[in-house]
Amino acid sequence: MLANDYRPSLFKDVIGQDSITSTIMKSILQLKVPSAFLFAGPSGTGKTTVARILAKAINCEDLQEGEPCNKCDICKSISNGTSFNVTEIDAASNNSVDDIRALVDQIRYSPQIGKYRIIILDEVHRLSVAAFNSLLKTLEEPPAHVKFVLCTTEMHQVIDTIVSRCQIHKFRRVTNKEITTRLATITKAEGIEIDTNSLQLIAEISKGSVRDAISSLQKLNAYSGERIDYGQVLSILNIFDKNDHFRMMKAIKTNDVNEIIMIIKGVHETGYDYLQYLTSLVSHCRNLLICTGSKPMLSLLEVDDSVRMQYEQTGKLYNEKELLLIITKLQECMFQFDRAVNQRLHVEIALLGLLKSV
């Protein structure tokens, strides 16, 4: 699996979280590693990866300026998942007070090899209130040989008393540019031929998740082999072609009924979900709205230069008020979607209703 093969093994290899990794490395070098961390942020941004690297670094027999050596027996055992020093628990399925009590009983004993035991609790916000309270007692007076790493995508659901006892690190979404660069490195190493536009498209649909982007690349590689083209990316990943959205926006502005009907016919024939289509079109309109602003606003468009030019050209057809009206009408269509008897007709009426109003 590409996601496993190219999972970062050093802090410096983690994408987009430099401030977090540098802070943790300094605490390791200064021998001031807190007893509990709380890693919060979107999925696929490196929370459990950093937790595993941390586990290696604080146990490594030959630490290299805060980085694990990845050569000693302890580093190797943690990397391949056979170390008794590291316990990973999915709190979504092990969320009862009995599960936490069993964990507390387990960590009473010092590790036979290495200095620390590391407990990684993924999706910690899914713990029950009783489980949180049981965990709290341990976090208040943790054994000296234990470090906790609590990972969550919903930090607001973690109770305040737990949060107050952790060193908090908030992971950010990785930019499309950073993900594209990472994917380019992987495809080069794997001998996969793929154009930059395709890589940027994969990065865009991953929504800041490096893991999701690599998983999409794995799927494409499994289907298409060592040569992947733009059309295959659209088809296999079920993505809407931006060119169709540009066509739609021009058709609305020019009151081209036939073009609108033909585009929706294409959506129907390819089996796309209409709600996904509308969501994608709203996002497209948002990008056009950015183009009506000042030049610095254009930096918010994480697309290649050729697509940016298309956005700028199409954006000139509309003013801010018109685009806001289209977005509002499309969202109203989406809100009413569940009540639609004929989904295709519902979408067509919504789009045709925009004619002559913008």
DSSP one-letter string for 172-206? PPPPHHHHHHHHHHHHHHHT-EE-HHHHHHHHHHH
**CA angle at 123 for the pair 118 and 124, rounded to the nearest 5°:** 65
Phi, psi of 126 (to 5 degrees): -85, -5
Whether residue 15 contacts residue 174, with contact meaning beta carbons closer than 8 Å, is answered with yes
Say whether pLDDT at 268 is over 70: yes
| pLDDT of res. 303 | 75
List C-alpha distances in Å: 205 to 17, 213, 217, 239. Answer: 20, 8, 12, 8
The pLDDT tens digits for 173-186 are 999 889 999 999 99
What CATH number should be reported for the domain whose range is 242-352?
Answer: 1.20.272.10
Q: What is the largest CA-CA distance in the chain?
A: 76
Whether residue 150 contacts residue 166, with contact meaning beta carbons closer than 8 Å, is answered with yes
List C-alpha distances in Å: 349 to 143, 303, 333. Answer: 65, 31, 9
Q: What is the mean pLDDT of the chain?
A: 90
Q: Which part of the chain is CATH 3.40.50.300?
A: 2-170
- Phi-psi region for residue 114, left (φ > 0), alpha (ψ -120 to 50) or beta? left
Say whether pLDDT at 296 is over 60: no
Here the tokens at position 243 are 């060119």
305-328 per-residue burial string, b: 16 or more CB within 10 A, e: under 16 = eebbebbeebbeebeeebbebbbe
Q: Which part of the chain is CATH 1.10.8.60?
A: 176-236
| pLDDT of res. 324 | 94
Q: What's the CA gap between 266 and 280, in Å, rounded?
A: 15
Q: Which part of the chain is CATH 1.20.272.10?
A: 242-352
Q: Which of 40, 37, 39 is nearest to 28 (CA)?
A: 37
The pLDDT tens digits for 48-97 are 999 999 999 999 999 999 999 999 999 999 999 888 889 999 988 888 88
Domain 176-236 belongs to what architecture?
Orthogonal Bundle (1.10)
pLDDT band at 294 (very low <50, low <70, confident <90, very high): low
Percent of residues, the chain, with pLDDT higher than 70: 98
Q: Which fold has domain 2-170?
A: Rossmann fold (3.40.50)
List C-alpha distances in Å: 37 to 34, 54, 91, 298, 321. Answer: 7, 11, 16, 37, 46
